[in-house]
Amino acid sequence: MAAPTRKTVELFYDVVSPYSWFAFEVLCRYKNVWNIELKLKPFFLGGIMNEASNRPPAMVPNKGKYMFKEMQLLAKYYNVPLVPPKDPAEVMFNKGSLSAQRFITAVDLMDSSKVEPLSRELWMRIWSRDEDIVDPDSLQQAGQKAGLGDEQVKSCLQKMKDQAVKERLKQYTSEALEYEAFGSPTIIAHVKKPVMLFGSDRFPILAQVLNEKWDGPIPGSKL
């Protein structure tokens, strides 16, 4: 009897988005539980928002207040150590994430196996420890914590300005827009045809699309 065809799931994300962290962790937990190939695709959320004529939730006062209250509940539900930074506006809108996304992209082009731990460490810095993800020293520390060697980190920091890195980041951003993305996280399930899902709360639907079982945010847990 032939083994079931493995389905591909793409996660388009930006580490400036806390909701993307929830989706990222759940998909990483399920990639060996469900019969899927998970492809991590870092894109630039600023470009997505601009092209889709979208507004950040925090720009709507009542929605912003709700969002930061909700994140505390979601952090507990998803078992993700999220702690909002003291000045979210400075982190999200003034500093942004372009440098971080380019660094992830440079690492992806060098060694894609390091994208998962690096992305997680960058989320930990910005959304758990209120640390910088813009300065080269900060990116260096994140790279080292993710298991990159000193020379690898140095090389990727240098390549952040290379056209190949810029083009890859632009490519993934354009791919997401072709799927009509408007924010982060954007999840694409490749079944008979691509199915786009947005947000970190669509996993029961994703499981249905993939013909898999949703077992909560931590598969196998009795919680």
Instruction: Give the β-pairing of 7-13 and 186-190.
Output: antiparallel
- How far apart are alpha carbons 151 and 30 in whole angstroms? 32
Q: Is the pLDDT of residue 1 over 80?
A: no
The pLDDT tens digits for 112-155 are 999 999 999 999 999 999 999 999 999 999 999 999 999 999 99
Whether residue 4 is predicted with pLDDT greater than 70 in this model: the reply is no
Structure confidence at residue 2 (pLDDT):
54
Q: Rounded to an integer, what distance in angstroms lies between the CA atom of residue 127 and that of residue 122?
A: 8
CATH architecture type of domain 7-210: 3-Layer(aba) Sandwich (3.40)
Three-class HEC string of the chain: CCCCCCEEEEEEECCCCHHHHHHHHHHHHHCCCCCEEEEEEECCHHHHHHHCCCCCHHHCHHHHHHHHHHHHHHHHHHCCCCCCCCCHHHHHHHHCCHHHHHHHHHHHHHCHHHHHHHHHHHHHHHHCCCCCCCCHHHHHHHHHHCCCCHHHHHHHHHHCCCHHHHHHHHHHHHHHHHCCCCCCCEEEEECCCEEEEECCCCHHHHHHHHCCCCCCCCCCCCC
Model-level pTM?
A: 0.95
Average the pLDDT over each of 81-85, 97-101, 111-115, 217-221 and give the range with the smallest value. Answer: 217-221
Per the structure block, which two tokens stand in for 139? 């990116």
Looking at residue 56, its pLDDT comes to 83
**How distant is the alpha carbon of residue 22 from its chain centre?**
8
Average pLDDT of the residues of the chain: 95
Is the pLDDT score of 222 beyond 70?
A: no
pLDDT of residue 59: 79
Q: What does the pLDDT look like over 5-25, one tens digit per residue? A: 789 999 999 999 999 999 999
Domain parsing of the chain, residue ranges: 7-210
pLDDT tens readout for residues 54-71: 988 877 888 888 988 999
